[in-house]
Amino acid sequence: MSKGADVGSLQTLQDLATALKSFSRRRRELLDDVERSVSRRIEQLEERRGDWNRELGRRRDDYESADEEDDSYHLQMRVEEAEENLQQVERWLERVREAATSYTRSARAFAAGDDERAVAFLQDRIAELEKYLAIKIDSGATGSSFSFEGPGILPNAVGALEQTVASGLEGITESILPSGFDWVPLSSINAAEMASLPADEEYRKTPKAEIQRGFEALRSDILPAIKQSGADSDFFFKLDQASGKNAEHGVQRVYDAFFGSDPIALNRTLKEGEYEITSGRHRIKVAREQGWPAIPAKLI
C-alpha cells in the first residue's frame, strides 16, 4: 500500500501545519505548568517540614525545662503532636517527590513526540507544492490535486492530534456555561446556513489559526475554570497578569470572544429545535472542523 497522501487543497496542509504547531506549543505549556506546580508543592512541603522541625525543637525545650508545677503531661502531648505532624509532612514530601520523578520520566517521553518533525516535514512539503503549483499555472496546466510521499511521521502526528482533540471533547456539553449561554448542537443549526459557512480565505478580521487556538483554550483552560470556581472575565484578566501575558495573547481575550459582547448568537426558527446563525459563523466553522458536537451560544 502506498504511503502517499492525496491532497486536494494546499490550504488543508497549511491548516494542518498550523494545528500541529498549536498542539505542540500547548503541550509544552501544559507540561511546563505541571512541572512548576509540582515544584511549588515540593517547596511548600519543605517549608512546612522546616516549620514543624523548629516547632518540635521549641516544644522539646519547653518539656525538658519544665518545673514540677508545670503540666508535664500536657507538654509531652504537644511534643508528640509536633512529631506526628512532622512525620506526616515527610511522608507527603516523599510521595510528591516520587510522583514528580515518575511524571518527569513520562513527560520527557511524551515531549519527545513526532509533532515538531511533522511540522517541519509539512512546511517543506508545502514549499515544494507551492513551487509545483506555480509551475503548473505558468505552463497552463489544469487541476489542483496532487500527492506526496511521507516517511510515516505525518500519519502518526495527525493521529495523535485527532485522538487528543476527540478525547478532549468527550462530554464537553456537560461543562457549565456562564449565565445566558446554552450548549447548542451543531446538528440543530439550519442546514442551509451550515452549508454556507465562510471559506478559509474569508477569515480576514481574525485569522483562522487564532480562532483554532481560541477553541483549544476554551476546552483546556476556560471551561474547567468556570466549572471549578465560576471564573469570569476578571478572573482571567488576573490570571493573565500573574502569568505575564498581555491582552493579545492572554486567556481573557478568548473568554470575552465567547462570552463577552460579541458571542456566538443564534436565532430560533419557526421549526422546533432549529436555529439560524446571527453571529459567529467563522467560529462555528472552526468548531465543526475540530469535531465539537455543540457550541456555547446566546439564544436570541
Q: pLDDT of 82-133, one tens digit each?
A: 898 889 888 888 877 877 777 666 665 555 555 556 556 656 666 665 555 5
Annotate 52-99 with DSSP letters as a single string.
HHHHHHHHHHHHHT--TTS-HHHHHHHHHHHHHHHHHHHHHHHHHHHH
What is the DSSP secondary structure assignment for residue 220, as one 8-state letter? Answer: I
Q: Which residue shows C-alpha cell 498550523?
A: 18
Which residue did the predictor score with more confidence, 29 or 126? 29
- CA torsion sign, 174 to 178 to 179 to 184? negative
Residue 90: the pLDDT is: 87
Provide the pLDDT confidence category of residue 20 given band limits of 50, 70 and 90.
low
Residue 244: the pLDDT is: 84
Residue 122: the pLDDT is: 58
Number of residues in the chain: 300
Report pLDDT digits (tens) over 157-184: 444 444 444 446 778 889 999 999 999 9
Report pLDDT digits (tens) over 58-71: 988 888 887 765 57
CB atoms closer than 10 angstroms to residue 227: 13
Exposure on the CB side of residue 144, measured as CA atoms within 13 A: 7
The yes-or-no verdict on residue 235 having pLDDT over 50 is: yes
The answer for residues whose C-beta is within 8 angstroms of residue 73's C-beta and 6 or more apart is none
Q: Which class is domain 5-146?
A: mainly alpha
The yes-or-no verdict on residue 3 having pLDDT over 50 is: no
Of the candidate ranges 6-10, 126-130, 226-230, the one whose mean pLDDT is the lowest: 6-10
Residue 120: the pLDDT is: 62
Report pLDDT digits (tens) over 206-225: 999 999 999 999 998 999 99
The mean pLDDT of 141-167, rounded to a whole number, is: 43
Greatest pairwise CA separation for the chain in angstroms: 108
Provide the pLDDT confidence category of residue 37 given band limits of 50, 70 and 90.
confident
The mean pLDDT of 36-53, rounded to a whole number, is: 83
Q: What are the cell numbers at 81?
A: 503532636
Interatomic CA distance for residues 204 and 45, integer angstroms: 50
Delimit the CATH 1.10.287.1490 region(s) of the chain.
5-146
Q: Which residue shows C-alpha cell 443564534?
A: 266
**Taking the model in full, what pTM does it have?**
0.47
The yes-or-no verdict on residue 142 having pLDDT over 50 is: no
Q: Which of 300, 291, 1, 4 shows the shortest CA–CA distance to 146?
A: 4
Report pLDDT digits (tens) over 251-289: 999 999 999 999 999 999 988 889 999 999 999 999 999
The amino acid sitting at 9 is S
Residue 199: the pLDDT is: 92
